[in-house]
């Protein structure tokens, strides 16, 4: 089953776990299974339209899904998804 | 409270000076103590990926964050937060910083004036990224 690595700010919504297993053959399916198990994660990962929030990046193995098939990127059972927060800012 | 050890502190200041008059940015790795206090043992200097005038904006590349998470796991550490510089500008947490931050993480802002370190402050955003609060910062004398 694919494993999802949870960044520290989101662990409180996943029973304090740093990694979670969830079934699915695509990123969308895995993240849907994840948020079904931990509903409080949903608003932190998805916007009101059900798409990944712009502040959230997802990697499958070593690849950023933005450069693959985005949420439809295929995931095999032994692969790891990493949730990477998007960070920016500045004085202005 | 966030404490930054001398080695990562030198990485942060060196990166802030080298990038001046542009903003620098990077990632803070370390440990969270039993009392919730944070100790930064590694600072990773990153490229400012903002596509525009970097005098007052920064962006961390997701690839750098991914690699930092991997390094943290390998070293048994945690990504504790991020740092960036404000060239010729006080070390405050701006509305832009707040809007593009995440809760939980420590955000270190370093003021660099005329290319030299002036002062630094740390902040954390609340859960809704509508407010930030100062975080006690312990760092070497510079």
Nearest Cα to Cα of residue B31 among B81, B80, B102: B80
B58 in contact with chain A, both atoms CB, cutoff 8 A: yes
B50, B73, B86: residue with CB nearest A88? B50
Nearest chain A residue to B82 by CA: give it: A87
Indicate whether B46 pLDDT > 80: yes
Overall fold of domain B2-138: Cytidine Deaminase; domain 2 (3.40.140)
Q: Work out the pLDDT band at B142, boundaries 50, 70, 90.
A: confident
The pLDDT, as a whole number, for residue B36 is: 95
Indicate whether B106 pLDDT > 80: yes
Q: Work out the pLDDT band at B1, boundaries 50, 70, 90.
A: very high
Q: Work out the pLDDT band at B74, boundaries 50, 70, 90.
A: very high
Q: Is residue A91 part of a domain?
A: no
A8, A59, A92: residue with CB nearest B66? A59
Number of domains in chain A: 1
The pLDDT, as a whole number, for residue B133 is: 97
B59, B80, B96: residue with CB nearest A92? B96
Sheet with B78-87, strands from edge to edge, namely B132-135, B116-125, B106-113, B78-87, B25-32, B38-46, B2-4, B137-138
Q: Is residue A31 part of a domain?
A: yes
Segment B114-138 mean pLDDT: 96
| B76: region left, alpha or beta (phi > 0 left; psi from -120 to 50 alpha) | left
Segment B70-83 mean pLDDT: 97
Size of interface A-B (CB pairs under 8 A): 87
Domain with A57 in it: 3-85
Residues of chain B in contact with residue A19, where contact means CB-CB under 8 angstroms, are: none
The pTM of the full predicted model, rounded to 2 decimals, is 0.96
Q: What is the ipTM of this complex?
A: 0.93
Nearest Cα to Cα of residue B124 among B114, B116, B134, B115: B134
Q: Quick check: B63 and A64 CB within 8 A?
A: yes
The pLDDT, as a whole number, for residue A92 is: 82
Q: Work out the pLDDT band at B69, boundaries 50, 70, 90.
A: very high
Segment A17-45 mean pLDDT: 97
Q: Which CATH number goes with the domain that contains A36?
A: 3.10.20.30
Q: Is residue A90 part of a domain?
A: no
Q: Is residue A92 part of a domain?
A: no
Quote the percentage of chain A above a pLDDT of 90: 96
B78, B86, B98: residue with CB nearest A91? B86
Segment A65-71 mean pLDDT: 96
B26 in contact with chain A, both atoms CB, cutoff 8 A: no
């Amino acid at each position: 089953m694919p494993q999802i690595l949870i960044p520290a700010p989101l662990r409180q919504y996943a029973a304090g776990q740093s990694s979670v297993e969830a079934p699915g053959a695509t990123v969308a399916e895995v993240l849907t299974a994840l948020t079904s198990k931990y509903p409080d994660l949903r608003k932190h990962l998805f916007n009101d339209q059900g798409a990944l929030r712009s502040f959230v990046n997802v990697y499958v193995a070593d690849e950023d899904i933005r450069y693959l098939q985005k949420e439809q990127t295929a995931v095999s059972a032994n692969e790891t998804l990493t949730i990477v927060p998007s960070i920016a800012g500045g004085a202005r | 409270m966030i404490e930054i050890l001398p080695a990562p502190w030198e990485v942060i200041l060196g990166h802030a000076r080298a990038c001046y008059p542009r903003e620098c940015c990077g990632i803070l790795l370390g440990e969270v103590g039993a009392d919730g206090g944070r100790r930064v043992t590694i600072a990773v200097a990153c490229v400012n990926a903002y596509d525009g005038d970097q005098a007052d904006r920064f962006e961390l590349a997701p690839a750098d964050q991914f690699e930092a998470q991997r390094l943290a796991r390998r070293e048994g550490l945690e990504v504790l937060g991020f740092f960036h510089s404000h060239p010729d500008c006080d070390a405050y947490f701006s509305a832009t910083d707040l809007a593009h931050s995440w809760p939980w993480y420590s955000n270190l802002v370093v003021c660099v004036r005329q290319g030299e370190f002036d002062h630094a402050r740390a902040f954390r955003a609340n859960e809704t990224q509508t407010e930030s609060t100062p975080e006690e910062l312990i760092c070497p004398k510079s």
